[in-house]
Amino acid sequence: MKVYEIKNVSYRYPTGEWALRNINMEIEKGETVAIVGPNGAGKTTLLKLMDALVLPSEGEILFEGKPITEETMTDPEFRRKVGFLFQNPDVMLFSATVLEDVAFGPVHLWGKEKGLKRAREELRKLGIERLAERHPYNLSGGEKKKASIACVTSMEPEVLLLDEPTRDLDLRNRNFVLEMIRGWKAEKKTVVVVTHDLRLIRLADRVYVLKGEVLFEGTPRELFSRPELIESANLDVPEIVKLFHMLGLKETPLSVEEAGEILSGLCVKP
C-alpha cells in the first residue's frame, strides 16, 4: 500500500520564493526513505507538506490514497498516524517539565490520564525517565533531542518524518538514533528521513536527491556509484568509496565491513 503519493507538487513561500517545483514521489508502507540535498534544497519544506502543516501551491499529496486538505491539518487521526521530528528540538520543548512536553500530543489525542501514562511509558522506553520532572531549559543537546523524540513517539505514529535527526549529536547519541530507526524499520513503520549522515543513508531502502526538484531516485548503492550526484547533493563521498574508485574497482561498498568482504574475495581468487 502506498502511504504517500506526491503528484506534481510545487510550493511557494508567501515571500514569493519557489522552494519546490514539480515534485513526484511515492512512498510505500514500511519503507525507509532518505532525502538528501544541499542547504536550501527544500527538504524541510517537503516534510512540512507531508505533515500537512502547509498545503501545496500546486499539485496534490495523497496520504493513504486520500488527498491532504485543509481538514487534514486538524484531523486527530492523521496527527496520530504521522509524527514529525523537527530539526531543532527547542521548538518542541516548552512546558515546565519534560514529562508535560512529552504528554502534549498524547493528552490532545487521548485526554489527560491516558496521555500522561503514555508519556511515562515512552520516557522509560527511551531511558530518560530521570528527566521526567526536569525543566527542558537546562537539558544538554543530546537530552533535548531524546526528549523531542519521545514527544513524537509517545503518539505511537505509523509514519515518521525526521528532519536531520542526528545533526548536532555526539557519536553515542548518533548511534542511539540510528538504532532507533533500525528498530522502526524492523517494526515495519514508514520512515522518511532528511539527512546528511552517510550511515543513515545506508539504512534507507531508497534515496531521493532533492534540489528544488527531484534529481535522483534509487538505492543508496546506486547513489554512491554516481559521484556527480553526490556532489550536487553536497554530500561527503565515503572514504571507502573513494578508495574503490581510485583503485578502479567497479563495486561500491557502503561500509568498511562490506569493502573488506569484497577485497578478501578478490584476494582469495588466484
Partner 1 sequence: MGFLEDTAREVLEFTTEAVFSERHTRKNGLLQRLDPRLKTVSLVVLVATVVSLQDIRIVVAFYFLALVLAVMSKLPVVEFTKRVWIFIPVFTGIIAIPSIFMVPGETAFKVLGLTATWEGIRWAVLFTLRVATAVSYAILFTMTSRWNEIVSALASFRVPGMVITITTLTYRYVFLLAKLLLDAMHSRRARLAGELGMVESWKEAGKHIGATFIKANALGEDIYYAMLSRGYTNEVQPIREFRLGKVDYAFSIVTALVVLLTLAFTRGLL
Ligand X SMILES: Nc1ncnc2c1ncn2[C@@H]1O[C@H](COP(=O)(O)OP(=O)(O)OP(=O)(O)O)[C@@H](O)[C@H]1O
Q: How far is the CB of 215 from ligand X (least distance, A)?
A: 13
Range 102-141 burial, b when 16+ CB lie within 10 A, else e: bbbbbbebbeeeebbebbbbbbeebebeebbebebeebee
- Contact flag: residue 44 with Mg ion (CB under 5 A): yes
* Residue whose CB is less far from ligand X, 14 or 248: 14
* Residue whose CB is less far from partner 1, 32 or 154: 154
Residue 208 phi, psi (nearest 5): -115, 135
- Contact flag: residue 40 with ligand X (CB under 6 A): yes
Q: How far is the CB of 42 from partner 1 (least distance, A)?
A: 16
- Contact flag: residue 44 with ligand X (CB under 6 A): yes
* Residue whose CB is less far from ligand X, 37 or 136: 37
Point out which residues bind partner 1 (CB under 8 A): 48, 51, 53, 73-74, 76, 79-80, 82-84, 86, 88, 90-92, 94-97, 100, 104-105, 107-109, 111-112, 135, 137-138, 151-152, 155
* Residue whose CB is less far from Mg ion, 19 or 107: 19
Q: How far is the CB of 47 from ligand X (least distance, A)?
A: 8
- Contact flag: residue 57 with Mg ion (CB under 5 A): no
Q: How far is the CB of 82 from partner 1 (least distance, A)?
A: 8
Q: How far is the CB of 159 from Mg ion (least distance, A)?
A: 19
* Residue whose CB is less far from ligand X, 15 or 138: 15
Q: How far is the CB of 85 from partner 1 (least distance, A)?
A: 9
- Contact flag: residue 90 with ligand X (CB under 6 A): no
Query: What is the CB-side half-sphere exposure of residue 8 using CA atoms within 13 A?
Result: 2
Angstrom distance (rounded) from CA 217 to CA 247: 27
Q: Give Rg (Cα) of the chain.
A: 20
**Site residue total, Mg ion (CB under 5 A):** 1
- Contact flag: residue 35 with ligand X (CB under 6 A): no
- Which stretch in 11-19, 76-84, 93-101, 128-136 sits in contact with ligand X by CB under 6 A? 11-19
Angstrom distance (rounded) from CA 11 to CA 34: 20
Q: How far is the CB of 163 from Mg ion (least distance, A)?
A: 6
Angstrom distance (rounded) from CA 94 to CA 71: 26
* Residue whose CB is less far from partner 1, 76 or 227: 76
Grid cell locating 18:
519557489
Binding site for Mg ion (CB under 5 A): 44
Binding site for ligand X (CB under 6 A): 13, 15, 17, 19, 37, 39-45
